[in-house]
């Protein structure tokens, strides 16, 4: 990139800080003792949402809503409906409506996507933010009313669904086309004495850039689930590990200071696990990692848990150790060539 192109990009970033307008004073910030105010870029993001019912949006609601919409936009080109549940900015349940395995008899509907996302981790989903990319119908509303959630965001709510959800008076309902939310191409983050502005990490997944680095090639089913888990993984706080199968997250490990720690949490939280031998619940699942493996220990742990396919960026000085561990255990692994840290 030459100097003139760099100057143009720098000028665009400066322009992104202009035009902020006051929206509202919030009840409080991240904690009750902190004051907070909401400013918006007009006609962008959540400023375009219509709140149909519920309490006033809080600071934490807005942070989680951004995470929910960013995650569900990964699936805007899918024919199948998608559902995302966010807790403390991390996806704790993500799924598509379809479930393509021979024992599946579930319909490809928005309500089924919601149920599959919630079933991924019902404990963590409690009190979360739900994003749906199709109309919320009666079946969705009935499922939502079975537990407590902070907010539901979707393109539309049917009248019958709204009537059911109105029994939860404090539940916030936000209507916005989550598949086409207009946002700035840059993200802004405050630091001591200033702000940082960077390009958003939202480029579509490009499988042509991926490289199979193991002797075994992924099956069609593994490749489908690698794409799915990779889309989810970049929305999980680093160090991030995501397990999934049949286009449903099975467990998410987020925010640990080492990658092995995130992997351990993921296996402990795997669907049906609860600290026992998780092999029946993780066998043939796909594992995604937002960063490379500095050592082969995470691969070995995954193999012991029945994982047979891994997707990660690659780029470690000891990549070959992880490749060898995969080959020794009959696993397949893809290097995407692109890291997705999220701090």
Average pLDDT over residues 158-163: 98
Q: What is the pTM of this model?
A: 0.90
Please tell me the distance from the alpha carbon of residue 173 to that of residue 165, in angstroms, as a whole number: 9
The overall average pLDDT reported for the chain is 90
- What are the chain's domains? 20-180 (3.40.140.20), 207-335 (3.40.140.20)
pLDDT of residue 9: 54
The contacts of residue 61 (CB under 8 Å, 6+ apart) are 129, 150, 151, 172
Average pLDDT over residues 90-99: 93
Please tell me the distance from the alpha carbon of residue 225 to that of residue 227, in angstroms, as a whole number: 5
* pLDDT band at residue 105 using 50, 70 and 90 as cut-offs: low
Please state which of the ranges 59-68, 183-192, 227-236 shows the lowest mean pLDDT.
183-192
Q: How many CA atoms lie within 13 A of 165 on its CB side?
A: 28
The contacts of residue 272 (CB under 8 Å, 6+ apart) are 278, 280, 281
328, containing H or E segment: helix 319-328
Residue 273 pLDDT exceeds 60:
no
Among 119, 128, 340, 122, which Cα is nearest to 248's?
Answer: 119
């Amino acid at each position: 990139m030459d100097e003139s192109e760099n100057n143009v990009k720098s000028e665009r970033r400066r322009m992104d800080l202009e035009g902020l307008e006051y929206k509202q004073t919030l009840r409080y910030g991240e904690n009750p003792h902190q004051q907070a105010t909401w400013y918006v870029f007009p006609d962008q993001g959540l400023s375009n949402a219509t709140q149909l019912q519920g309490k006033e949006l809080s600071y934490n609601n807005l942070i989680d809503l951004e995470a929910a919409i960013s995650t569900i936009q990964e699936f805007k080109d899918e024919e199948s409906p998608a559902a995302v549940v966010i807790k403390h900015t991390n996806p704790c349940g993500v799924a598509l409506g379809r479930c393509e395995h021979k024992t599946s008899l579930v319909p490809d509907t928005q309500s089924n996507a919601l149920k599959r996302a919630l079933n991924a981790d019902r404990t963590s989903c409690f009190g979360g933010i739900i994003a749906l990319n199709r109309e919320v119908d009666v079946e969705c509303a009935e499922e939502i009313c079975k537990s407590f959630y902070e907010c539901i965001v979707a393109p539309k709510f049917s009248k019958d669904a709204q009537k059911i959800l109105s029994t939860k008076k404090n539940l916030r309902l936000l209507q916005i086309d989550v598949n086409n939310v207009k946002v700035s191409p840059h993200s802004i983050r405050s630091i001591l004495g200033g702000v940082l502005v960077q390009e958003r990490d939202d480029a579509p997944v490009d499988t042509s850039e991926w490289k199979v680095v193991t002797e075994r090639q992924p099956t069609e089913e593994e490749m489908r689930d690698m794409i799915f888990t990779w889309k989810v993984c970049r929305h999980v706080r680093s160090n991030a590990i995501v397990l999934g199968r049949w286009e449903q997250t099975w467990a998410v490990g987020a925010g640990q200071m080492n990658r092995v720690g995130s992997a351990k949490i993921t296996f402990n939280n795997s669907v049906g696990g609860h600290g026992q031998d998780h092999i029946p619940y993780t066998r043939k699942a796909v594992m995604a990692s937002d960063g490379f493996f500095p050592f082969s220990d995470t691969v070995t742990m995954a193999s012991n848990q029945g994982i047979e396919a891994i997707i990660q960026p690659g780029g470690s000085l000891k990549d070959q150790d992880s490749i060898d561990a995969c080959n020794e255990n009959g696993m397949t692994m893809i290097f995407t060539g692109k890291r997705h840290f999220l701090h």
